[in-house]
Each structure stands twice: as structure tokens, then as C-alpha cells.
Chain A
């Protein structure tokens, strides 16, 4: 029971309170870049959830069974970014071969994910002792998953708003990026309200 409530707290924390995009500023580039259309936002979101979960698992194993035992923790950055890059490539190949339909909808987003700092960010955050989570394999994976969900939620919300925005009359200089950023700011303001949920 306690485990379940711990997981619930973590889910709420990762999705709403400490949202990766709006509170931690991770994954801003795809958040602004791929949020013009609802279905591509959804595709990107799914791809990110998948890669973040996988990356959390693999980097945890690398850290615990490779970097720490050999005392080479200073290689963390290099090891993780290479792992993530190869992981993304590998996932791309597997999906392309086994699930062409899925590849059609996710494929274009996969290469973009390597430079999505949310993936490297979650991998590093999982392994710092002070992220407020129990330090173990299962929680790292769950944290990766829920952080990805949090990313997807705000990405999809943003895409929904921006699709409607196409029809709004705006001053010419506000169009595009400026208004997207201001909307993102308003969303961040709204998400600040979740702070009271902390128990």
C-alpha cells in the first residue's frame, strides 16, 4: 500500500508539480518546435515517453554496474549521451523492421530525440541522490515514464492551443514564437498552482 502511494506521489510530482517542461525547463526545443499540430505532438510525445523510459533503465544499469564499480563516474556525461544516441538509433531500426505502421507515425521524431535534453536530463536526475525518490531501478524507470507523460501532457495541450491560435488575429510581430512563449508562460503560471498538491 505504501508503495502504491509512493508511486502516486511520484506520478503527480513528475506530471504536474515538477513538470519537466514548465518547471524544470527540459525539452523546450521540441516543446516549441513540434507543437504546431496536434497529431505530430502526440506522436512526438509517445516517442519521448518510450525513449525516456528505456533510457532511464539502461543508464541506471550503466551507472550501477559499470561507472560506480570501476570508479569512473566522471565519464557519466559521455557514456550517457552515447548510450542515448545508440539507443535511439537502435529503437528506430527495430521499429522500422517490426512495426512499419508505428514507424510511419513515430519515425520522423526519433532522430530529434537524441538532442532532447529531457532524455539526458531524466537519466542524470534519476541518479542524483537528492531527487526525493527512493534510489532503485524500478523507481528510476517509473520516473522516466512519468516524466515523459508529463512532457507529453503539456506538449499536447500546447498543440491544441496553437491549432486554435491559427485563427486568432494577432499583431504581426507577436505571431509564431513570441506568442507561443507567452502561452507557455501562462501555462507555467497555471502549473505553479499545482504546488499546493505537495503532501
Chain B
């Protein structure tokens, strides 16, 4: 019996040491990871809000609550203001399960809720097929569309699907549509 208590104690001490080391390192890296993520998100927000690449205006973003995600965390959308504090539009993050993982898109909208620019920021779709949604020729297919025009060509809409990856294209279109609908309801209030 004594022997087993000793074994348990040794294991416990090992785990405690491991936990201690990890807790320390987590304290170091967690803020860095958060910073990297925030920076990525900010850059994407700016990119979809700018009029073109040479737009040097500074924009500010004010978060507003959109909905809860499946884990119960809050999701936000952002109202974009230019330096004169005029409202120039909205930024929305849309996310939905595509073919083999979530496809996450940042969407820039103008004040009339028409899409200015989209950017796929996270995806794990099939290389060479669905993964083509990050190519530069994909995003412009959404430019100028409003809520009712978000439909891929296979479903009678105008958005040209990626060859061999209708699912991915439809996922992106639908995810934007769902989030946009929510945003418009919130803004109409």
C-alpha cells in the first residue's frame, strides 16, 4: 500500500512541475498570441473598409454585439467611422462550416449594406479546389452585392462558384447572408 502511495505521489509531483512550467510559459505567450490575433483582425478590418489600397485615411471601429456563437461567446460587428467621425459603413465577420472546416470571412459593407470587399481569413478547404477562395480573383465576385443577391450561380444567383467547389462558395455566400441579415435587423432598431 505504502508503495502505491509513493508512486502516486511521484506522479503527482511530476504533473505539478509540468503544470508549473506550462503556467509560467502560458503567462508569457498568451498575451503575444492575443496580440497576433488582434493585429490580424484589425488589418483585415482596415483592408475591407479602405476605398482602395492607397487610401491613407484612418478609420476607427466601434464594436456592437451581434450574436452568441455555439460556445456561448459573444460575436461583434463593427461600425466604421472615418477621421471626421462620419459613419462610412460596417465590418462583419461571417463564419460557417464549409467542406472540411470553418470558413471565416471578413466583410466590409457600405452604409447601404452593400458589400464593398470581402476577405477570407480562415479556411481549411481542399487544396487546389475550395482553398482557391483565398486567391485574389475570388473576393471581387462578391463586390457590390446586397442581402438578396447573395446566391451562387448553381442556385440561380450571380456569384460565380469556384470550379469543383460549389460547397465552399455557397458556404461563404450563406454565412455572409445570415450574418448580414442579423446586422440589418440590429441596425434597423
Contact = CB atoms under 8 A, between A and B. Distances in A.
Interface stretch (B44-52, B99-107, B132-140, B153-161): B99-107
Contact of A130 (B18, B19, B99, B102): B102
B71 interface: yes
Nearest to A64: B71
A135 B71 CA distance: 6
A131 B97 contact: yes
A54 B71 CA distance: 22
Interface residues of B, number: 17
Nearest to B97: A132
A72 B97 CA distance: 27
Contact of A75 (B22, B69, B167): B22
A74 B34 CA distance: 14
Interface string B66-102: 0001110000000000000000000000010101111
B60 interface: no
B100 A23 contact: yes
A75 B18 CA distance: 9
Contacts, number: 34
A183 interface: no
Given A74-B22, A75-B19, A78-B15, A135 B100 contact: no
Given A23-B100, A74-B23, 13 more contacts: A72-B19, A74-B22, A74-B26, A75-B22, A129-B70, A129-B102, A130-B95, A130-B102, A132-B97, A134-B70, A135-B71, A198-B99, A198-B167
A129 B71 contact: yes
Chain A, interface size category, equals: 10 to 19
Contacts of A78: 15, 18-19, 22
B73 to A, nearest CB: 8
Nearest to A24: B100
Interface string A120-136: 00000000011110110
A17 B64 CA distance: 37
Contacts of A74: 22-23, 26, 30
Nearest to A198: B167
Which has the most chain B C-beta neighbours within 10 Å: A78, A130, A135?
Answer: A130
Contact of B100 (A18, A72, A82, A129): A18
A75 B101 CA distance: 24
Contacts of A129: 69-71, 102
A66 interface: no
A129 B69 CA distance: 9
Contacts of A181: none
B120 to A, nearest CB: 14
A190 interface: no
